[in-house]
Amino acid sequence: MRCLIDCDPGADDVLALLFALQRVELDVQGIVTVAGNVPLEEVTANACGVVELTGRNLPVCAGSDRPLVKGRYHASEVHGESGIGPLKLPQGLEHRVNTNFIDFYMEKLFATEEKTTIIALGPLTNVALLLRTRPEAMERIEGIVFMGGAYGTGNVTPFAEFNAYVDPEAYKIVFDSGLPVTMVGLDATHETLISPQEIANLRANTPESTFIKDLLTWYCHNVMTVYGYAGSHMHDPSAIMMLVHPEIFRTFDASLTISTQEDYTRAHILVDRSAPRKNVTVTSGLDNEAFKSIFFHTLEKYLSKEDL
């Protein structure tokens, strides 16, 4: 599957990238960053660092540094000021391309007749701007799979998930695009849970596997401290999982709209399962044991051959 990853790394985005780059099903053509979990410079540096850590030769292009309408909104209390807490990634600055992100998208989308899937792990600002300014891009997009949103309880307000809350205007553009869209929201991702003990049991004997274990350890502790959970949810890796193992998810098709009002309903997603035109495939849950088995097995590929 030919794909581009649009993300705001962020601890769980970093884990999602590490997961995606070990999946042979995914032909990742590049990474576009967007301000979200932390500001644009930090998320772009983290994306470059992941590419360098994994030894890949992938271009990283910086995208939007703010939402379409509202001011910047970040989640440094969860991800730390750098996006990955006290951890450090290699620099990897040579992977950053000095190209406008719209031009980067168009170059990659039109490089071949094969259509490309966009995997969006952060706010949908970049994707919305692409669709609004270059509508011809839609003929080369296979579909959009994004992590974000919730039709149940949010995590920023009782009604809104973080990525949706950052830029609901962008969500509206994507929902109304007519493209095949899949939402991997909190209703599914909150069914993932990795415990501190499971993380402690992970082996680590390479720079990559050591970083993964250290990041999971820090992120899990921080999430438990901030939210009081019994472990850490793997939000962004769930969007990657939906592409490579959709059979472990429960889904339904529905018509989705999102509130862009400046009140307590902002970024609340309304679901109409009976509408004649259904614009989004919605994930409603998943098999956590299957998720963990696949996730850990994939990340074990970063161990040395002797330890497999």
Catalytic residue among 190, 233, 235, 245: 235
Tokens at 214, concatenated: 């250290």
Tell me how far apart the alpha carbons of residues 48 and 61 are, in angstroms, rounded to a whole number: 9
3-class secondary structure, 264: coil
Phi and psi for 53 in degrees, rounded to 5?
-60, -40
What is the distance in angstroms between the CA of the first residue and the CA of the last residue of the chain? 27
67: DSSP letter: -
Are the beta carbons of 204 and 210 closer than 8 angstroms?
yes
Phi and psi for 40 in degrees, rounded to 5?
-60, -45
Are the beta carbons of 181 and 218 closer than 8 angstroms?
no
140: DSSP letter: G
Question: Is 297 noted as a catalytic residue in this protein?
Answer: no
Contact residues for 117 (Cβ-Cβ < 8 A; gap 6+) = 1, 2, 3, 4, 141, 142, 143, 144, 145, 243
232: DSSP letter: B
Neighbours of 201 (CB within 10 A): 10
Tell me how far apart the alpha carbons of residues 183 and 191 are, in angstroms, rounded to a whole number: 15
Whether cis (ω within 30° of 0) applies to the bond prior to 10 is: yes
Going by C-alpha positions, the residue among 61, 69, 155 that lies closest to residue 104 is 61
Question: Any bridge partners for residue 272, and if so which?
Answer: 255
257: DSSP letter: E
Q: Which residues are catalytic?
A: 235
